[in-house]
C-alpha cells in the first residue's frame, strides 16, 4: 500500500487522481490532501478520504474532521507519506517538490512549472537523495514508459502536440480569436490556463524544457510533431534507428494510474483504444512560425538561469489578461517576449531568485499592459505600436 | 566483444547479419559460420572472417582456410561461442537452438519454425539453463523492445502485417495469382519461402505461435492488425490501457543489430525514419476470410502437440509445389488443412516425434499432389474436386 499525499487535490489533475485512487482501492491510502480556494470540494474530499493531514489557503472555511492543518512542505516531507502527487499549478509546486525529493519521497509530478523553472535544483535534489520522480503529463509519461528498461542510446525525443484549436488558422486570423474559442480544446479536457497554453503551443514549449531536465536530453535532440489524433502521446528515437511510442486514449487517468501503480500495471479505469476498426494516425513537423511561444520557450530553456521562470511568470500573467479580454491572443507571445528581453538574469539562481524572477515577470506584464491601456486611452492610434 | 556463430550465414538474414557484424566492428567476433549449399558464398565469408569453425552440406566444395569442419550442434555448444544466430530455415534450426540454449548460450532466433514446431521444448531449455533468447523477426523484436523493463501486465499482443501483395484481392482472383506476383512483396525483401508465406498470411500465423511461446501470452490475447505502411512493427497493449509500439524503417538490419548489441544501443547501419514531412500510419483488423492460412496456424498453435510441425511441413511442401507451378496459390491452404485433418498427433512429443511429424506432413502433401496429378491426367474434369 502506498501512502499518498495529493497536493492540488481540487484541481483537474487532483480530482482525477482521487478517482484513480478509488479505482486502485487497497493499493492506495490517501494520507494528505491540499487544495487552494475550492474549500467546499476540499471539505467533501476530507469527509470521504479521512486524511491525517491537510492544507488549504482558507482554513476557516474547511470542514477538516480530525485532520491536521499544515503546510505543503510539511506534508511533502511527513514521515507518514511515501508518495507525493504534485498537482498544484504555477509556482506553488516548487518548494514542496524539492522538500519531498530531499526527504526521499517518490514524486508524481503534474505541475509543469516545477521542472521548467527549477529543473537544475529539482534534478539535483532527486539525484542527491536517490528519490524517484515519475512524470504525470501524458507526453512525459509516454517518454518515461518508452525509456523503461533502456540502458542508453537515446537519439531524439519526439513530443507530440495536438496543435490545439487554431493550428490550421492563418496568422492574421489568430489575432481575433476569443477566449471562448481558445478554451474549446479539440481533444483534451483540462484547466483554463493549460488549455490556453495548448492553443498558443506554450504548453508544448514548457514540455520541451521539462523533457530536457527529466531525461537529460539536449534541446537539439528534442522535436515536436503535430499529431491531431492525440493517440500517440510521444516517441523516443534511439541511436540505432529504432523508435518506441506510447499510445492510449487521451485521458489523464492513464498516466496518473501508471504513476500510482508503478512498477506494476493493473487493469485500468479507462476504456482502452479500439483496434476493431480502421485507425489512421498522422504526424507532421510543427510549423512554429505562427506560434512563437514554442520558440520562446525553447529559447528560455536554452538560456537557462532565471529565463524559464520569466517565461512562466510572463505567460501566466498574459494568459490571465487574455482570459479577461484585456489583450489579444497574439499579444500573449509578444508580452512574454518583451519580458524576456527586459529581464536581467541571475547567475546560478537559488529557489528564491527563481521565484523572484517569476514574480518580476508577472508584474512586468501587468505594468506593460497598464501602460498600453493608458496609451490607448489617450491616443488609440498608438496602440498597435506599444504592443 | 561477443563471440558469435552464424548458422545459415549464406541466407537472407545470414548475409545481413554479417553486414551488421562488420558495422559493429570490434564488438563482434564471428567465430563460426554455417551455410547450406551456397558453397561459393560460404567460402568467401570464411576467407574474409577467418572463423575457427564452419559447417556446410558440401564440405568438398568449400575453401575452408584453417577453419575446422563440424556439425551445427557442435558449433552451437562450442566453448568459444557465446552467441548463436539461428538464421537457418525450416526445421534445420531446432537441434542447434536447443543445444545452444542447454549450453547457456545467448540465442538470436531468426528461424521461425524453431518455436513454432518445438516451442515447449525450446522454452524449457531456455528456462532450465537461464539462457537468453532474443528474437530477430521484426515483429517479435518490436514486442521484445516494448516489453523491455516491464514487470507484468501484458493485456494483448498486436502483431502488425503488411497484408502482402494480395490483401485487397477478391477471393476468386487469388486462385489465379502466379509465383512471380506472389514473390513481389510490396515492402520487405526476403527469401522465397517467407515471401510466399507473407502472401498467404501463413507467415503471420507462424508469428502468432512464436509470440505465444516467446512471451507466454494465450492465443486469445494475440491479434493481427493489417498495417500496409510497415513502419510499426508490432504493439503491446497493457492491462492498464497503455499501448507501446516499436517503429522503424522496414529493414532487417535493425532487429539484427538490436539483438547483436543488446543490451546496448549503438548508432545504426540503417537510415532512420524521417519525421521531416507528413507521415500517415494506418491499421485495420485482419480479414482472415480470404487467407485461411492464418486461422489454420492459430488452430495448430492452440491444438499444440505435433500439429504445428504438421503445419510447417505441409506448408513448406505446398509452397514448394506452388513455386514449381504445380498447384494454385489457394491450394496451399487447402493442402495444409488436409494434412492437419489427416494427422494423428503424438502426445507429449519429443524432438524426434516433432521432426517425424514435419516429415510426414511433407510426404502427405507430395503424395496428395501426385494423386491429384494422376487423377487430372485421366479425368481432367475431376481435378477441382480432388483439390
* pTM of the full structure: 0.94
Task: Select from A148, A267, A273 the Cβ nearest to the Cβ of B239.
Answer: A267
Residue A372: pLDDT band by 50, 70, 90 thresholds?
confident
- Number of helical (H) and strand (E) elements in chain B, helices listed first: 16, 12
Percent of chain B with pLDDT over 90: 87
**pLDDT tens digits along A266-285:** 998 899 999 999 999 999 99
Which residues of A fall within a CB distance of 8 Å from B287?
none
Q: How far is A269 from chain B (nearest CA, A)?
A: 7
Residue in A closest to B286 by C-alpha: A276
C-alpha closest to that of A235 among A289, A178, A158: A158
A to B CB pairs, distance under 8 Å: 161
Give me the pLDDT at residue B387, please. Answer: 38
Give me the pLDDT at residue A382, please. Answer: 47
Residue B383: pLDDT band by 50, 70, 90 thresholds?
very low
Which residues of A fall within a CB distance of 8 Å from B249?
241
Residue B382: pLDDT band by 50, 70, 90 thresholds?
very low
Task: Select from A150, A232, A278 the Cβ nearest to the Cβ of B149.
Answer: A150
Q: How far is B260 from chain A (nearest CA, A)?
A: 12
Which residues of A fall within a CB distance of 8 Å from B148?
148-150
Give me the pLDDT at residue A378, please. Answer: 61
Q: Identify which has the larger pLDDT, A375 or A97.
A: A97
Angle among Cα A170, A302, A356 to the nearest 5 degrees reads 100
A299 Cβ contact list (under 8 Å, min separation 6): A307, A340
**pLDDT tens digits along B222-258:** 999 999 999 999 999 999 999 999 999 999 999 999 9
Which residues of A fall within a CB distance of 8 Å from B245?
232, 244-247
CA–CA separation, B112 vs B221, rounded Å? 20
Residue in B closest to A256 by C-alpha: B240
Cβ contact B84:B96 at 8 Å: yes
Cβ contact A185:A193 at 8 Å: no
Q: Which of A241, A266, A283 to mutate to test the interface with B (most CBs of B within 10 A)?
A: A241
CA–CA separation, B334 vs B375, rounded Å? 17
Residue in B closest to A278 by C-alpha: B284
Looking at chain A from residue 140 to 169, which residues have their Cβ under 8 Å from any Cβ of chain B?
145-146, 148-153, 155, 158
CA–CA separation, B227 vs B282, rounded Å? 6
Looking at chain A from residue 235 to 264, which residues have their Cβ under 8 Å from any Cβ of chain B?
235, 237-249, 254, 257-258, 261, 263-264
B283/A contact by beta carbon, under 8 A: yes
Q: How far is A323 from chain B (nearest CA, A)?
A: 34
**pLDDT tens digits along B40-80:** 999 999 999 999 999 999 999 999 989 999 999 999 999 99
- Report which DSSP code applies to A7: E
Q: What is the mean pLDDT of residues B311-335?
A: 97
**pLDDT tens digits along B288-308:** 888 999 999 999 999 999 999
Q: How far is B171 from chain A (nearest CA, A)?
A: 21
A283/B contact by beta carbon, under 8 A: yes
Task: Select from A240, A249, A281 the Cβ nearest to the Cβ of B268.
Answer: A240
Give me the pLDDT at residue B379, please. Answer: 54
Instruction: Tell whether the model's pLDDT for residue A379 goes beyond 70.
Output: no
Which residues of A fall within a CB distance of 8 Å from B285?
275-277
Give me the pLDDT at residue B346, please. Answer: 86
CA–CA separation, A11 vs B269, rounded Å? 48
Look at residue B271 and give its three-state secondary structure.
Answer: coil
Q: What is the mean pLDDT of residues B155-179?
A: 93
Give me the pLDDT at residue A383, please. Answer: 44
Q: Which of B155, B255, B275 to mutate to test the interface with A (most CBs of A within 10 A)?
A: B275
ipTM topping 0.85:
yes
Give me the pLDDT at residue A376, please. Answer: 78
B380/A contact by beta carbon, under 8 A: no
Residue in B closest to A138 by C-alpha: B242
- Cross-chain Cβ contact B153/A265 below 8 Å: yes
**pLDDT tens digits along B216-231:** 999 999 999 999 999 9
Instruction: Tell whether the model's pLDDT for residue B311 goes beyond 90.
Output: yes
Residue B378: pLDDT band by 50, 70, 90 thresholds?
low
The distance of Cα B368 from the centroid of its chain, to the nearest Å, equals 26
Instruction: Tell whether the model's pLDDT for residue A386 goes beyond 50.
Output: no
Q: Which residue has the cell 505502411?
A: B229
**pLDDT tens digits along A335-366:** 999 999 999 998 999 999 999 999 999 999 99
- In order of A256, B236, B350, the CA distances from A259 in angstroms are 5, 19, 45
- Cross-chain Cβ contact B245/A245 below 8 Å: yes
- Cross-chain Cβ contact B275/A145 below 8 Å: no
- Cross-chain Cβ contact B282/A282 below 8 Å: no
A12/B contact by beta carbon, under 8 A: no
- Cross-chain Cβ contact B247/A241 below 8 Å: no
Looking at chain B from residue 198 to 227, which residues have their Cβ under 8 Å from any Cβ of chain A?
223, 225
A171 Cβ contact list (under 8 Å, min separation 6): A289, A290
Q: How far is A267 from chain B (nearest CA, A)?
A: 4
Q: How far is A278 from chain B (nearest CA, A)?
A: 4
The distance of Cα A374 from the centroid of its chain, to the nearest Å, equals 34
Percent of chain B with pLDDT over 70: 97
Strands of the sheet containing A83-86, edge to edge, are A68-69, A53-55, A28-34, A2-7, A83-86, A106-109, A133-135
- In order of A159, A220, A385, B46, B124, the CA distances from A200 in angstroms are 16, 21, 22, 61, 56
CA–CA separation, A155 vs B267, rounded Å? 9
- Report which DSSP code applies to B345: P
CA–CA separation, B149 vs B320, rounded Å? 41
**pLDDT tens digits along A203-256:** 999 999 999 999 999 999 999 999 999 999 999 999 999 999 999 999 999 999
Q: How far is A136 from chain B (nearest CA, A)?
A: 13
Own/partner contacts of A350-353, CB < 8 Å, gap of 24 or more, are A350/A121, A351/A94, A351/A95, A351/A98, A351/A118, A351/A121, A353/A306
Residue A385: pLDDT band by 50, 70, 90 thresholds?
very low
Three-state SS annotation for A94-161? HHHHHHHHHCCCEEEECCHHHHHHHHHHHHHHHHHHCCCEEECCHHHHHHHHHHCCCCCCEEEEEEEE
Bond before A263 cis per omega within 30 degrees? yes
Amino acid at each position: 500500500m502506498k501512502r499518498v499525499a495529493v497536493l492540488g487535490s481540487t484541481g483537474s489533475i487532483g480530482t482525477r487522481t482521487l478517482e484513480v485512487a478509488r479505482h486502485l482501492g487497497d493499493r492506495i491510502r490517501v494520507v494528505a490532501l491540499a487544495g487552494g480556494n475550492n474549500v467546499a470540494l476540499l471539505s467533501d474530499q476530507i469527509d470521504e478520504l479521512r486524511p491525517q493531514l491537510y492544507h488549504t489557503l482558507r482554513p476557516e472555511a474547511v470542514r477538516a474532521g480530525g485532520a491536521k492543518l499544515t503546510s505543503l512542505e510539511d506534508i511533502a516531507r511527513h514521515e507518514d507519506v511515501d508518495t507525493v502527487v504534485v498537482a498544484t499549478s504555477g509556482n506553488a509546486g516548487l518548494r514542496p517538490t524539492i522538500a519531498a525529493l530531499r526527504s526521499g519521497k517518490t514524486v508524481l509530478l503534474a505541475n509543469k512549472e516545477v521542472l521548467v523553472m527549477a529543473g537544475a535544483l529539482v534534478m539535483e535534489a532527486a539525484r542527491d537523495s536517490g528519490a524517484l520522480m515519475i512524470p504525470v503529463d501524458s507526453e512525459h509519461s509516454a517518454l518515461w514508459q518508452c525509456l523503461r528498461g533502456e540502458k542508453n542510446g537515446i537519439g531524439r525525443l519526439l513530443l507530440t502536440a495536438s496543435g490545439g484549436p487554431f493550428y490550421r488558422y492563418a496568422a492574421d486570423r489568430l489575432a481575433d480569436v476569443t477566449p471562448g474559442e481558445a478554451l474549446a480544446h479539440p481533444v483534451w479536457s483540462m484547466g483554463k490556463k493549460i488549455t490556453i497554453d495548448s492553443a498558443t503551443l506554450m504548453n508544448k514549449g514548457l514540455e520541451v524544457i521539462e523533457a530536457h531536465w527529466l531525461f537529460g536530453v539536449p534541446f537539439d535532440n528534442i522535436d515536436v510533431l503535430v499529431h491531431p489524433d492525440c493517440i500517440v502521446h510521444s516517441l523516443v528515437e534511439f541511436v540505432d534507428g529504432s523508435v518506441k511510442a506510447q499510445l492510449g486514449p487521451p485521458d489523464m487517468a492513464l498516466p496518473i494510474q501508471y504513476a500510482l501503480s508503478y512498477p506494476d500495471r493493473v487493469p485500468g479505469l479507462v476504456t482502452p483504444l479500439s483496434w476493431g476498426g480502421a485507425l489512421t494516425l498522422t504526424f507532421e513537423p510543427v510549423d512554429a512560425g505562427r506560434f512563437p511561444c514554442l520558440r520562446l520557450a525553447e529559447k528560455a530553456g536554452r538560456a537557462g538561469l532565471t529565463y524559464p521562470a520569466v517565461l512562466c511568470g510572463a505567460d501566466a500573467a498574459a494568459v490571465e489578461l487574455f482570459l479577461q479580454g484585456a489583450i489579444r491572443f497574439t499579444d500573449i507571445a509578444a508580452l512574454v517576449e518583451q519580458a524576456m528581453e527586459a529581464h536581467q538574469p541571475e547567475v546560478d539562481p537559488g529557489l528564491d531568485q527563481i521565484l523572484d524572477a517569476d514574480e518580476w515577470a508577472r508584474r512586468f506584464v501587468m505594468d506593460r499592459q497598464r501602460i498600453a491601456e493608458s496609451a490607448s486611452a489617450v491616443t488609440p492610434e498608438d496602440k498597435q505600436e506599444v504592443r
